[in-house]
Structure 1
Amino acid sequence: MRGRQGDGAPAEEPAGAVPLTGAEEYAAAVLALVRRIPHARAMTYGLIAEIVAEDLGRGGPRQVGNVMAESGDRYRHLVPEDAVVVGPAQDDFTVPWWRVVNAAGSPPARHLTAALDALRAEGCPLTRDGRRVDLRRAIWFPEPDAAG
């Protein structure tokens, strides 16, 4: 798989490594990008999909959602073992899932309370009612690739 050093993208696979499937390649790109989202910032499923599609030419918001839903199980092997992010209730996670929201700024409904608690703890700007991320103030865009 392709990767750019220093940007959080997966690096080249070592010689003799088992090549990733197309789904794993996509998942690895999504998870690498999500791991780069800074503390107290957020990205939408759609924005992540657009950025990943620039490199891989495929995927959309639903595919990003599927990757996020499976990041702790099916795709755990795609995240470096030493990757640790402190999250909700001071638990350790390899991917800051709570920083990924829908186009309205809402975290996943199934994990709404945990996500909002984590976002509040980080100081992420929320809407007045505290139920969504204020995307105008919290959205994060990665720096453009200097080589491109």
Structure 2
Amino acid sequence: MSEVSLPDDGRPERDEALPEYAERVLEVAELIPPGRVMTYGDVAEWLEEGGPRQVGRVMALYGGAVPWWRVVRADGVLLPGHELRALAHYRTEGTPLKEASRAAENHLPRLDMRRARWDGDGREREQGHT
């Protein structure tokens, strides 16, 4: 995974090699099964490197090439600016959602993090990193 193209997000294609950390973040995003999610912090914990902000930065810059909608905020709020695209993916994949309350400002559901969160289910963690 040395080159990445960011489809349908309006950003230009990137031809340069990805930084090593970015490659690893994107590899974890690709492991997440349909209908499940990991938080930015979960991905950093999985990699045993960085933190939620670093993972979020990688996803913002390079995430268009992977199932970006499966790496989410810990509170289950849909990614601002991409809510409808993400919601379409969640509904297609059967990702557990909590319907919005009548008081919710945007009337969009949230992810049901208790049911949707994926912990890696026995997958081997990437070896050879610090």
Q: What is the one-letter code of the residue matched to 1:60?
A: G
TM-score (norm 2): 0.71
Report what 1:120 is aligned to.
Answer: 91
% same residue: 47
Shift of the alpha carbon at 1:120?
Answer: 1.1
After TM superposition, what 4+ stretches of structure 1 lie above 6 angstroms from structure 2? none
Q: Provide the rounded CA distance (Å) in 1 between the counterparts of 2:123 and 2:60.
A: 27
How far does the alpha carbon of each residue in 1:56-108 deviate from its partner, in whole angstroms, 9 at most, with x for none?
xx311011011001115xxxxxxxxxxxxxxxxxxxx6300011110101231
Contact 1:41–1:99 (CA under 8 A) maintained in structure 2: yes
Shift of the alpha carbon at 1:24?
Answer: 1.0
Report what 1:102 is aligned to.
Answer: 73
Report what 2:24 is aligned to.
Answer: 29
CA RMSD of aligned residues (A): 2.4
TM-score (norm 1): 0.63
Structure 1 residues 98 and 42: CA distance shift in structure 2, 3 A: same
Count of residues paired in the alignment: 104
Q: Provide the rounded CA distance (Å) in 2 between the counterparts of 1:136 and 1:108.
A: 18
Long gaps (5+) in structure 1: 1-9, 11-19, 73-92
Report what 1:50 is aligned to.
Answer: 45
